[in-house]
Structure 1
Amino acid sequence: MSPLAALGISMPSMDSARYAAGNRSQQQRRQQVYPRDTYYLAFRDYYDGDLSNALRQFKSEGRRGIRIPGQNWIDSICYHTMVGECYYQMGQLDDALAQYESALQLMLNFPDWMIRIQFQPIRPSQPGQIRNVPWYTSQRRPRYGEYKDTYLIGQGQLNPLDTVKQGGALQVAVLMQIGVPEIVRCSTISLRRWRELLGPACADHTMTKELIAAFSRRPGQPNHWSEAWIDVQLGLAQMAGGQTAQAKTALQRALVAEGQFDHPLTSTALLALGQIALEEGDFAAASAYFGEASLAAVQYANPDIVGEAFTWGLTTHLASNSPGVYPPLRQALEWTRPNSQRRLAALISVLLAENYVALHDSRQAQAYLSEARGLLSRKREMLASRTGGRMNFVLAQSLFQGGSTEGYRALNEAMKFQQKGSLRNFHIKLADHLLSKGQLSPRAAMDLYAKVLQDPSAVDWTNDPFESLTLLMTPHPRSFANWFAVALERNAPERAMEIGDLARRHHFFSTLEFGGRTMALRWVLEAPQSMLDPEAVLQRQNLLTRYPAYATLSKEAETLREQLAQLPPAPDAGDALGELKAGLGQMEEYGKKQEAILREMALGRLPCEMVFPPFRTTEEITEALPSGQALLAFHESGGQMHAFRISEAGYAHWNIGSSAQLRNKIEGLLKDLGQVDGNRELTRDILADDHWRDRSADLFNTLVQGLPENFPLKAEEIVIVPDGVLWYLPFEILQVPDGNQMVSLLSRYRVRYAPTVSLSTPASGAARGRVRNTAVVTGKLFPRDDDVVAIDEFQRLSNTLPGTVALGAALPGPSSSYASLFGRLVVYDDLIGTDEAKPYAWSPMVADRNPATGALDSWMKLPWAGPAEVLLPGYHTAAENGLKRANPATAGDEVFLSVCGLMASGARTILLSRWRPGGQSSYDLVREFAQELPHTSPTDAWQRSVQLATQTPIDPEFEPRVKASGIDVPPPAIHPFFWAGYMVIDTGEPHAADVDP
């Protein structure tokens, strides 16, 4: 028995294509024109999973077509739709949409074709004609009607004399047999996919409005049972147009024909009503509709609706937290097995596996997945289809649930399909296309981008974690750039600044595991509750309730951390060292177990806010910015650098100009500062040359030339949010007016940086906490240093900063765990540069070279969190080579991503070097800064440290990057090389009143 016959789809005989006798006296021909046998053979391959062959056959028949001379005929809807369905299942969504659009255009070209159909009365189905299914008992008590596969349609002119008199082409009247139910079925498929593929763009699309208008005119025979088929199409069109209330009314009318009989499209109407109920949160109604839809779909041989009804039914079952296995699935699978429904059976097996994953039964889930793989692997392309992609995603869920890292491989396989077949990403791509073609007004574009680029909502995660995860994991720089440009076009600079911040945030997410999903879970579960909004607090409670094993591990890890905090942080030997090592090892084990559970959570239907980095509106930033502070934020887009300012004077935006020209000026300034090579020595002439002042004055003018008011700003502190190449610019040395003279920005204002605008101000209620101890890594800040140099510097620092301990080459445990015991970290060591492809592969504690425990990537994982203050004077960026190695497309990324990574691990204040001077001046600056931090704000501490350093003579013998020959009198460290290579990154949290003295 073929798959079609199993569901009651009878194969037409060759006789069905023959001509029948007609009434020749009235120039009428009766012609039996029915979708060709090849069309039904293509269906056999389609339902059997041979999509390529089905596509080839549907295309072949579509090219041959069924036509009236000079016209495309309405039957072509079937071919366009089924070609689109093949493309849809294969993930080729551009091609699929084009086919659905062609089908819908035919519907608009022939809106009243059903008026000419010679319908026959409905005959009630006899008991032997009713197909019983084992998985659902209808509550509707339906009466099934029997409908013909074909009906006659009149086409042409009964009186050709009118054409002879008036002129024009003569078309002889014809009566034809056409497959009306199949044409209408295909039209509803195209309508449903149109809404699905266009997503948020659908409601405002011109064709959607035309379809609603066409079906609202009721293009059928009035007071006839076929109006039910008009209502189905009208309801689907209204759903596409966002007219939900009207759609419900039309779809309810469409459920029965002649007021009593179910029909071939009843299942489609029920499925749509179920989707509406689910969107409205009415789980009971949605579940009932989907069950009824599966029943009606079997009765009228519509296996695609059967599969979609089960898919949406499972979604409803899980979203409503219903217990156990979704009832229809097991019996439905048993029903499909003897009926040879391979593709449907594979889908149901995947759904059962997904249900068992939700029940935390990974073993049973993998058993059903094995069955699904066996069915899909009979046709290789089925593994690469939409069902295959879902199967691999559920496999990844089950493997992570079982604690296996093989889940990564399965997820990668799933994402291979999502790269082309993701609906959420297609919506974003479509928005870009519509904008480029001028089919979106700026206002509509703003609304559309806000919808398609927003973080996945709680409903998104509950209904489709696969699509939600794909959205996070896929970079969308072009789309954010388009959105930013539209905001400026609409003269909405405040919104443009927010979009720039969202773009930075999304860029960071896309570089993280699972698109930042696991990091979001860490923050919701482990961050101080003061940093979470009420919704995130509720999510924490829900997650801990659903995952009691994680809750237990979290409590045990916190207890262990408190115990370790009572030990000496760096014991030399003895029982204390042994206890510390054992405790850190146990802490690492807790972290691994928690991370394993997080991976399981990450792929689940679990709402979780993307807490870090936060997003705040311009209004919220303005309200949170303390008095006396001004914010300067920059955003690079479309080859242009834009600037934004928020201060007590108000809000301003201006376009700085070409990013390439700005880069050239920064390169020139860095060269003046001696930054040509990271180890090149600076001569006396370079140190004595003041040409950098002219360069920095010119750069300052370039940056602020569009600012509506002149400097000085009425502020004491300036917060800078760089972007792109501006991460390499030492803003501190820019020459700004101060009365009648020009001075460096740092001498006029306190200066700090933030990676995003939203991180420039502290979270509500946040305050700088007490830092009880400091860890100092004693390595080699400059490669040619003696080992004792950093050790001596540690002694100087520890004399003025109580609670300071030295960490040498051997750590008592993994640095990712060990670092959580310290409030402040100072690294006197030369840090290995970052890899563009692996931005988090470098180790903040250089002694721990193990990438599994020492890399920044591991610091962002549990046990959470790292030191609140991190001082890294040995960090390298492209600035120290004059930007020779800076890729224009990714300029600044190694700084931006590193800073975000450190903050994601708990850092709130970071001292980071753009270039590494590596001499005594570096040690002096860091020491002064570190010992001032407990008593004042980071910006004040840094400003004082630099002022002191610039008044202190350098000793060329202790400055490895200064060429001592030719320097007779040691100059003060006033040259920016010694102090402008550092930036203070800080969230602006107010200084705690109870800081250690």
Structure 2
Amino acid sequence: MRNPGVFSAGTLFVCRSRFPRAEFPKVPGPFLQILRRWVSIGLFWLGWTLLVFFGRWSQAQTPVPPRSVPSTRYFAAFDLFLDGEYREALKVFEEESRGAIRTPQARWIDSICYHTMQGECCYALGLLDAALSHYTAAIQLYLSYPDFLMRVQFPQTVGPATSQNFRPCPWGASSRRSVPGKFPTEMLIGLGRLNNIDVLRQGGVVQLPEYRSIRVQEIVRTLAWAIRRRTELLGPLAPHDPLTSELLAVLSRSPAPPNHWSQAWIDLPHALALIAAGKAPEAIPLLNRSLVVVGQYDHPLTGLGLLELGRLALVQGDLDRAANFFHDATVSAFQFEDGHLLEEAFRHAALVHVLANRQGVLPTLEPAAHWAKVQDLKALRATLLLAMTEQFLLGGKTPQALALLKEAETTIGRREMAEGRIGGEFRYLQALAEYQRGNLPAGDAFLTAALDYLKRGSLWLFQIRQLDQEFIAGRVTPQGPISARTALEVYGQLLRDPDATDWTYRPMEALAVTAIPHPQSYEHWFLVALMRKEPELAVEIADRARRHRFWSMLPLGGRLLALRWVLEAPEDRLPPEAVLERQQILVQFPQYEVLSRQTREVLTKLRQERTISPEGLTNKAKEQQLGELGRSALLQEATLREMSLRRLPASMVFPPQRSFREVRDQLPPGTAALIFFATGNDLYAFLMTQDRYEQWKIKSPATVERRLTALLRAWGHYEANREIPVKELTSTAWQNEAEGLLRSIVEGSRADLMADFPELLIVPDGITWYIPFEALGAVRQGTFRTIIETKNVRYLPVLSLAVPAQRGRRIAPTTLVVLGRLHPQEAEETARQVYELWSRGQPSYTPLTQPLLTPTSVVKALVDQLLVWDDLRVDQAQPLGVPIISLTGKSPGNTLADWLALPWGGPDVVVLPGFHTPVESGLRRDRSLPAGREIFATACGLMATGSRTVLLSRWRTGGNICAELIREFVHELPFSSASEAWRRAVTLCLDWPVRPELEPRLPRTSTETNLSARHPFFWAGYMLLDCGLRPEPPEEPAEPPAVEMPPPKVPEAPPAPPAAAEQPQP
């Protein structure tokens, strides 16, 4: 590299001043002035030329020793780095990188330092893609010069450092007996060739021998950091990365002077490469060997070795050894003035203190924070203050924690670390502190800001994105470069539910991977499973994708829902590990247990006093008790917010995660499960029974949608309130479309949905949410028969819910009937008539015609059955924002999202005949949103509150037939399964006569007298979502219900109560 000139600008200025000003006779006139100006300019340029010439000549005659690398300015940039000004430091490292040494082939080893520190700046800012590229470049540079240590002129011996060089550590002494050694900061390295004759003969670049001064320990230190960070960024991908294998192969040869103390400086990178390759046990001896040289002296890289030993002990669960290693790493970092290492070591030391459940604050943090303040190491001080903050919060000392947060905020200020990892941790802890003191809005705001950082700064999400990029680039194939087997294994690690270790060790990462959507990753995982010809695993992955899809719609990605289920759900609905988690959480939060007990007592009392009754809903005393219940639940919810950010394991119980075999073995006998999963423009299907399964790919999803649209149009579905001409309801042309649609679904498979089996369970996805499978069919023995005529049909949003719970239904359930206006053309008295029809012979039914003063999220815990005769429109973009009891509107506490909150529980049965989907308009919808999103979210949301049976409409019909269907279904539920009850109700209605004046979607002027309800318009619009609960068998065999019933009597004139009200019960 060219040396700088000997003349600086200051020298040039002095030399210019030595030229005397020219003297001219005073000749008047402009000519003399022009002449004088040109002479002055000429003298100036003559002086400049002479200075440059003699300066270059002097430079050529006087050899100037080359500067040592990395440069002095490189080290000066550490002031910015340790001050938290990462972007400014990054600029300096980039500038120095542009001036780095270049050999004829490429950059030289000094660029290892520049690349690594650029990576560290990007890492601290959460720019992980850029960080990974810099670490990779640093390692590749080392692989270009793997034997550079063999060329270094190391001192033969190392002695102890003098006591003047090392001050006592302010936060304590090391537990190790070794002492710091004295090492030169600069050493010479030999470059070039002694013999260039062969190069001259054969061609090539002549490289003359020379010595250059380098800072070896900095190059090795940054190489070690690059390997370590790259392993951290890649996670489970690191052992499968080709660069990892190449690096390990090179370092395994120990490219350093043999039998020399410098072997310690190659043992450390070698150990880190072994860890990257997934061979941590083999790395431990090397790390221990790398800690000292000459058997007794610590060196500048000792602290990094101690840090890695501590991390490995932490992974093994040996917290005491890990704490000792981390403490000793901080002392070593202090002795060798490594502020970079200090921050990392203290962060790990504080983590171990928390995990070991030790009381108070880690004693070393306070003196270290004071020392960092004196030394003006702002990033280190901010890290220490945040570590102390968390420990105060865990001890319940909120005022002290808030004071530290204020101090941390001042330290961070407007520095660039506020944008990165330190800023993200600050906002996360600030949210936890606000939740702890009951300020939920402020806590929500800080948590949102923390999640914004995690979208780019989460290591877990970054690793998922890296594997996704490999899949999209086509590098995941059965043969490689990344084999399908490897991808399947790594996806399994990355897309698992956060476990107890994740929530305990890295709660921010666990929250990020739960709360931030990444649905495409599950689709890739699913396709890799099919690539490996593992359809059973593909079914499980599809279910995991659905669970993630639901959690992504919830606050904190289902974390709050998980805590509610773990703490409040009946134990018979929890796995054993969740029951154990409940006990552990309640030990840490005894105040929550008190609140929970109070809530349960109030709920029990309100149930016993029949609060859900015509008298109870208007009783002032009951209203006060409901208010008390709501306040108690709000206090519980506030505590849950704090829990959600704590290091508390809580299993993701709902929807449950079950294996393919577990679901298959527990399917009711005779039930066939038809499962769909959509990936991009493709649609896959699986048909599963207890003894066999089949998988196929839908040949043309576009054809399925086109035929579905044609079928819906044949039924008259163009607009939600369109009158359906009677002639369309008497036509059978739709049967050809229904049969064609069924063929399009099963084409290319051996599946026969019209075969003789008792029950069809459907788990839809994508466009299949809108297919009324009940009305599909085929011609059998010359007659067109629909699926529901041959078997029971039910749906589920997630396959794992197909395993029924053990608890039965109440024989006389508390039923709330919401009476609004289901259709705009309805008469005012229709709702009252419907209630009379439904409640006849049912003393536990209660009508609701006015909004409740108490939020419905509180009242729903007292209801067993909820029947809503009202219009219910759902926003596809915000499906959980729908008010299930629509009389109350979208006021706080009344939306489905609010229903997920405590108090625990909700209606076991929910009936929503006024639910709207794009089916009613012939599939006109917002195509930027996933098809079926509103049905999926509503079903999962209601079942998350405890519902096991949900009947909702794809299109709203209203009228007499609708009321009769629901009555027959609900009244039969206590005595048969939901799918049996629904099939019975549909079978009964097929031959019921239809009076157009009682059906708001039919022309009132119609004179048709032979119209029946056999047309699918009247019954195919309902979707029964049910978990498969079967009633307990009676002590004595009961007579089975009749399959067919006589048609209901028709009232003489409208408006009148539906005639089926007088029909005797089977």
User: What TM-score, normalized to structure 2?
Assistant: 0.89
Deviations 1:892-937 (A, max 9, x none): 0000001000001111001111111011111111111111111111
Q: What corresponds to 1:448 in structure 2?
A: 490
Deviation at 1:783, TM superposition (A): 2.5
Question: What is the letter of the counterpart of residue 877 of structure 1?
Answer: T
Matching of residue 790 in structure 1 with residue 826 in structure 2: no
Question: What is the letter of the counterpart of residue 147 of structure 1?
Answer: F
Partners of 2:711 and 2:324 in 1: CA distance: 70
Deviation at 1:506, TM superposition (A): 0.3
Contact 1:135–1:331 (CA under 8 A) maintained in structure 2: yes
Contact 1:232–1:254 (CA under 8 A) maintained in structure 2: yes
Q: 1:89 pairs with 120, 124, 131, which one?
A: 124
SS at 2:539's partner residue? helix
Q: 1:894 pairs with 934, 959, 972, which one?
A: 934
Q: What corresponds to 1:427 in structure 2?
A: 463
SS at 1:663's partner residue? helix
Matching of residue 551 in structure 1 with residue 587 in structure 2: no
Contact 1:123–1:146 (CA under 8 A) maintained in structure 2: yes
Q: What corresponds to 2:980 in structure 1?
A: 940
Correspondences of 1:270-419 after superposition (within 5 Å): 270-379=306-415, 381-405=416-440, 406-419=442-455
Deviations 1:660-716 (A, max 9, x none): 332222111111111111100001121122121111100111111233254543520
Contact 1:29–1:174 (CA under 8 A) maintained in structure 2: no
Larger Rg: 2
Partners of 1:365 and 1:674 in 2: CA distance: 64
Partners of 1:846 and 1:818 in 2: CA distance: 14
SS at 2:653's partner residue? coil
Deviation at 1:492, TM superposition (A): 1.2
Partners of 1:174 and 1:34 in 2: CA distance: 15
Matching of residue 822 in structure 1 with residue 863 in structure 2: yes
Q: What corresponds to 1:141 in structure 2?
A: 177
Partners of 1:46 and 1:574 in 2: CA distance: 67
Q: 1:734 pairs with 771, 776, 801, which one?
A: 776
Contact 2:821–2:870 (CA under 8 A) maintained in structure 1: yes
SS at 1:203's partner residue? helix
Deviation at 1:323, TM superposition (A): 1.7
Change in CA separation of 1:648 and 1:417 when aligned onto 2, cut-off 3 Å: closer
Deviation at 1:758, TM superposition (A): 0.7
Change in CA separation of 1:14 and 1:208 when aligned onto 2, cut-off 3 Å: farther
Q: What corresponds to 1:10 in structure 2?
A: none
Partners of 1:824 and 1:709 in 2: CA distance: 36
Q: 2:803 pairs with 761, 771, 781, which one?
A: 761
Q: What corresponds to 1:836 in structure 2?
A: 876
Q: What corresponds to 1:927 in structure 2?
A: 967
Change in CA separation of 1:442 and 1:626 when aligned onto 2, cut-off 3 Å: same
Contact 1:770–1:992 (CA under 8 A) maintained in structure 2: no
Deviations 1:110-153 (A, max 9, x none): 11110111111212011121232222332112310011111111
Deviation at 1:808, TM superposition (A): 1.8
Q: What corresponds to 2:23 in structure 1?
A: none
SS at 1:337's partner residue? helix
Matching of residue 913 in structure 1 with residue 947 in structure 2: no
Question: What is the letter of the counterpart of residue 295 of structure 1?
Answer: V
After alignment, is 808-817 or 646-655 more displaced?
A: 808-817
Contact 1:955–1:970 (CA under 8 A) maintained in structure 2: no
Partners of 2:372 and 2:524 in 1: CA distance: 48
Deviation at 1:768, TM superposition (A): 4.5
Partners of 2:618 and 2:958 in 1: CA distance: 34
Q: 2:258 pairs with 222, 233, 240, which one?
A: 222
Q: What corresponds to 1:77 in structure 2?
A: 112
Matching of residue 54 in structure 1 with residue 96 in structure 2: no
Change in CA separation of 1:518 and 1:334 when aligned onto 2, cut-off 3 Å: same
Contact 2:104–2:205 (CA under 8 A) maintained in structure 1: no
After alignment, is 673-682 or 44-53 more displaced?
A: 44-53
Partners of 2:189 and 2:5 in 1: CA distance: 21
Question: What is the letter of the counterpart of residue 804 of structure 1?
Answer: Y
Deviations 1:780-818 (A, max 9, x none): 121332332112221222213341111221325221111
SS at 2:626's partner residue? helix
Percent of counterpart pairs with the same letter?
39
Change in CA separation of 1:550 and 1:787 when aligned onto 2, cut-off 3 Å: farther
Matching of residue 809 in structure 1 with residue 850 in structure 2: yes
Deviations 1:27-75 (A, max 9, x none): x996443222221222221111222221111111101112345442111
Contact 2:874–2:915 (CA under 8 A) maintained in structure 1: no
Partners of 1:766 and 1:436 in 2: CA distance: 46
Partners of 1:714 and 1:313 in 2: CA distance: 65
Question: What is the letter of the counterpart of residue 100 of structure 2?
Answer: G
Matching of residue 99 in structure 1 with residue 134 in structure 2: yes
Contact 2:612–2:814 (CA under 8 A) maintained in structure 1: no
Contact 2:877–2:929 (CA under 8 A) maintained in structure 1: no
Correspondences of 1:980-995 after superposition (within 5 Å): 980-993=1020-1033
Question: What is the letter of the counterpart of residue 106 of structure 1?
Answer: L
Q: What corresponds to 1:23 in structure 2?
A: none
Matching of residue 254 in structure 1 with residue 290 in structure 2: yes
Q: What corresponds to 1:533 in structure 2?
A: 575
Partners of 2:636 and 2:882 in 1: CA distance: 23
Question: What is the letter of the counterpart of residue 237 of structure 2?
Answer: A
Contact 1:29–1:175 (CA under 8 A) maintained in structure 2: no
Correspondences of 1:118-137 after superposition (within 5 Å): 118-120=153-155, 121-137=157-173
Contact 2:876–2:929 (CA under 8 A) maintained in structure 1: no
Change in CA separation of 1:792 and 1:203 when aligned onto 2, cut-off 3 Å: same
After alignment, is 412-421 or 912-921 more displaced?
A: 412-421
Q: 2:512 pairs with 447, 451, 470, which one?
A: 470
Contact 1:614–1:759 (CA under 8 A) maintained in structure 2: yes
Matching of residue 853 in structure 1 with residue 893 in structure 2: yes
Q: What corresponds to 1:9 in structure 2?
A: none
Partners of 1:556 and 1:524 in 2: CA distance: 18
Matching of residue 498 in structure 1 with residue 540 in structure 2: yes
Q: What corresponds to 2:994 in structure 1?
A: 954
User: What TM-score, normalized to structure 1?
Assistant: 0.95
Partners of 1:75 and 1:952 in 2: CA distance: 88
SS at 1:652's partner residue? strand
Deviations 1:924-978 (A, max 9, x none): 1111111111111111111111111111101111100001334331411111111
Deviation at 1:327, TM superposition (A): 2.0
Change in CA separation of 1:875 and 1:165 when aligned onto 2, cut-off 3 Å: closer
Partners of 1:953 and 1:162 in 2: CA distance: 104
Partners of 1:472 and 1:364 in 2: CA distance: 30
Contact 1:29–1:173 (CA under 8 A) maintained in structure 2: no
Question: What is the letter of the counterpart of residue 796 of structure 1?
Answer: L
Partners of 1:361 and 1:708 in 2: CA distance: 65
Deviation at 1:576, TM superposition (A): 7.8
Change in CA separation of 1:926 and 1:30 when aligned onto 2, cut-off 3 Å: same
Deviation at 1:519, TM superposition (A): 0.2
Contact 1:956–1:970 (CA under 8 A) maintained in structure 2: no
SS at 1:755's partner residue? coil
Partners of 2:881 and 2:852 in 1: CA distance: 19
Matching of residue 150 in structure 1 with residue 192 in structure 2: no
Partners of 1:640 and 1:739 in 2: CA distance: 35
Question: What is the letter of the counterpart of residue 1021 of structure 2?
Answer: G
Q: What corresponds to 1:24 in structure 2?
A: none
Correspondences of 1:40-51 after superposition (within 5 Å): 40-51=75-86
Partners of 1:689 and 1:851 in 2: CA distance: 45
Long gaps (5+) in structure 2: 9-62, 476-480, 1039-1064
Change in CA separation of 1:770 and 1:204 when aligned onto 2, cut-off 3 Å: farther
Deviations 1:308-333 (A, max 9, x none): 11111122111222221122211111
Q: 2:524 pairs with 482, 485, 492, which one?
A: 482
SS at 1:847's partner residue? helix
